[in-house]
Structure 1
Amino acid sequence: MTSLPRSSPLALTVLALLHYKPLHPYGIQRLIKDWGKEQVVNVGQRASLYRTIERLLAAELIAVRETGRDQQYPERTVYEVTEAGREVTRTWLDEMLAAPKAEFPQFPAALSHALMLAPHELLDALERRLTRVDATLRAIDAGLASESASGLPRVASLESEYLRAITAAEVKWLRGVTDDLREGRLPWSKEDLMAFAAQQENGAGPRKDLEG
């Protein structure tokens, strides 16, 4: 077996679905959507799925089961998980569950530069985000309610529970910050920020009017 490819949510998902049954790439993509895994795995670009399959195949974590034909579709290659793939799946799953990984989403990165905006500009942007995130939260709630009503075992919905928890936390945080911005409890000005930066460069302590 060649060196293992780097673990990723998509690679783990491909291996996990092939534990269910041998599949061709379209079948993998369809199951990801049918089972709601697109909430946690990005399959918007089919090319990324094919690249992941190629890496898993090169590492001998999956193998070609058969190449079939269908009157409605072109020739399709069906893949199955290998024994090595089964072992790696469990290793990756344990690592991803147990060890937090430093991730760099774009929202915190943008927040770190929010001081470049005026307070009213930041308020406008965060209010628009709040509308979208709140809608996402309602959609997650509806999905969880539907899954519960269908009798789906809770363990199959844990990722949705987690997404609900972090989405609800973001809604709460956004409401607090937008309220503070709206009521003037979170003020700043370019002049004060530039003065503070200059003092930091000169090794001076913060000015009294900039202290908490």
Structure 2
Amino acid sequence: MRSSPLALTVLSLLHMRPLHPYGIQRLIKQWGKDQVVNVSQRASLYRTIDRLLDAGLIAVRETEKDPQYPERTVYEVTEEGRQAHRKWLREMLTVPRADYPEFPAALSFVLMLTPEETGEVLAERAEQVRAALTALDAAAGQAAAVALPRVTMLEDEYRRAVLAAELGWLDSVVADLRAGRLSWDFDTLAALAAAQA
């Protein structure tokens, strides 16, 4: 089985204690891991659990039967799962992998917009990044108030550094667009592309 952020998260949580899928999903959200791991669809969590089970990395510990709730299967990590978890964690921390987020993909075709439109949308993005930074700073303040160890907030520190760098870049590009230092004409670029084809 190949590693994935969600599989790593499931194994990490099961290291702490046996859980059922709803408990896993609840902890992911409670601990803010949904900011760094995509669990927006419950089906993806269940598929990941099935893959981990098929690979022998987790096992069924018990099935809880409670008249107030549907039957729940509780999972626990296996020894093979502990070894895979450690290997995946070390690889993910060590080896930079190419991610393919949509923003750089959209930037690669920004020439399809006018410089004015680009300035508008990038300025709007900069405001959203500022808001995200404010939210991260508030979360850091709350963590400090309850004296959480720094290690529990490293992903937020990283996200803040990345967002701060992005905001600096966005502000500089928007300033260049507004000052006319960055400009283009689509027809000229299209003709250049046609000449190279």
- Relative to the length of structure 1, the TM-score reads 0.90
Shift of 1:58: 0.3
Look up the match of 2:52: 56
Structure 2 CA distance for aligned equivalents of residues 61 and 117 of structure 1: 48
Look up the match of 1:107: 103
Aligned match for 2:61, one of 42, 65, 78: 65
The C-alpha deviation readout for 1:11-49, integer Å capped at 9, x for no partner, is 000000000100000000000011111111111100000
Which secondary structure state, in structure 1, belongs to the residue aligned with residue 64 of structure 2?
strand
Which secondary structure state, in structure 1, belongs to the residue aligned with residue 70 of structure 2?
strand
Structure 2 CA distance for aligned equivalents of residues 101 and 157 of structure 1: 22
Structure 1 CA distance for aligned equivalents of residues 147 and 190 of structure 2: 58
Aligned match for 2:142, one of 129, 139, 146: 146
1:89-168 matches, within 5 Å, as 89-168=85-164
Question: Size of the alignment, in residue pairs?
Answer: 197
Higher relative contact order, structure no. (Cα contacts within 8 Å, ≥ 6 residues apart): 2
Structure 1 CA distance for aligned equivalents of residues 146 and 123 of structure 2: 35
Aligned match for 1:32, one of 28, 31, 45: 28
Structure 2 CA distance for aligned equivalents of residues 104 and 197 of structure 1: 24
1:189-208 matches, within 5 Å, as 189-201=185-197
Aligned match for 2:173, one of 177, 180, 194: 177
Structure 1 CA distance for aligned equivalents of residues 140 and 68 of structure 2: 35
Tell me which amino acid in the other structure corresponds to 2:150. R
RMSD of equivalent CA atoms: 1.1
Tell me which amino acid in the other structure corresponds to 1:62. I
The C-alpha deviation readout for 1:109-157, integer Å capped at 9, x for no partner, is 0000000111111111112211111111110111111112211111111
Which structure 1 segments of 5+ residues have no match?
202-212
Which secondary structure state, in structure 1, belongs to the residue aligned with residue 71 of structure 2?
strand
